[in-house]
Chain A
Amino acid sequence: SQQGEEDPQALSIQEGENATMNCSYKTSINNLQWYRQNSGRGLVHLILIRSNEREKHSGRLRVTLDTSKKSSSLLITASRAADTASYFCGPLTGANNLFFGTGTRLTVIP
């Protein structure tokens, strides 16, 4: 399978806490991207990390990539109620396709 597999399937935290979700994949990648989906809407791109990068930051987001373990993690710091959504990782294959998993459903409780 070329898809990213997100873990955990669901995560519930209090506002202000940090949220960490993980992604595993099986193929060689050019980059790995994280997307968010709010209920009833399309996915929105959050952050991209290249295969030769190990860590990347964007605002309250921190992404790590370990190509030897074929895994990535997304950390959202100081979570807000508005962060409630489903999060998906997409490994970008050599054919420039993104394959997603079932996502992590994050609930941030105010």
Chain B
Amino acid sequence: EAGVTQFPSHSVIEKGQTVTLRCDPISGHDNLYWYRRVMGKEIKFLLHFVKESKQDESGMPNNRFLAERTGGTYSTLKVQPAELEDSGVYFCASSRRQGAGANVLTFGAGSRLTVL
């Protein structure tokens, strides 16, 4: 099966601009997660979708971040307007909800965001 795909792999924007990150999970994976890693720090949980519904968005930093998963397939994470502290690597992961391998995450390669 195809893995989790993230786009773009790297984005460099200026403070105040908008960036949209996209994640295509593994087909059939109802769970979709977004994480962020700032260099040297923890891999921070941002939010969790179950199909198209936000199960938990307690990790979203503030209202400049908007995640969507229309139709329960791919997801987007928009940062608007971007600030310097938003720089980091954004990881997407997906998993099955039931059956073999349930709740075992498959990660994408990440989208590196640099805000200047």
Contacts and interface: CB of A to CB of B under 8 A. Distances in A.
16 contacts: A3-B45, A31-B103, A42-B4, A42-B110, A43-B93, A43-B107, A44-B107, A45-B106, A95-B56, A96-B97, A97-B55, A100-B35, A100-B42, A100-B45, A101-B43, A102-B42
Interface in B2-27: 4
Greatest chain A CB density within 10 A among B33, B56, B105 is at B105
Interface in B23-70: 31, 33, 35, 40-43, 45, 48, 55-56
Interface of A: prevailing SS: loop
Contact of A41 (B31, B35, B41, B109): B109
A33 B107 contact: no
B103 A92 contact: yes
Given A96-B31, A97-B48, A42 B107 contact: yes
A97 B56 contact: yes
Closest 6 CB pairs of A and B: A42-B107, A100-B43, A43-B107, A102-B42, A42-B109, A101-B42
Interface of A: 3, 30-31, 33, 35, 40-45, 48, 88, 90, 92, 95-103
Nearest to A33: B104
A102 B91 CA distance: 15
A87 B91 CA distance: 16
Given A44-B107, A45-B106, A100-B43, 16 more contacts: A41-B110, A42-B93, A43-B43, A43-B107, A88-B43, A92-B103, A95-B56, A96-B48, A96-B97, A97-B33, A97-B45, A97-B55, A100-B35, A100-B45, A102-B42, A103-B42
A35 B35 CA distance: 14
Greatest chain A CB density within 10 A among B40, B107, B108 is at B107
A98 B45 contact: yes
Greatest chain B CB density within 10 A among A35, A45, A96, A100 is at A96
A6 to B, nearest CB: 9
Nearest to A90: B105
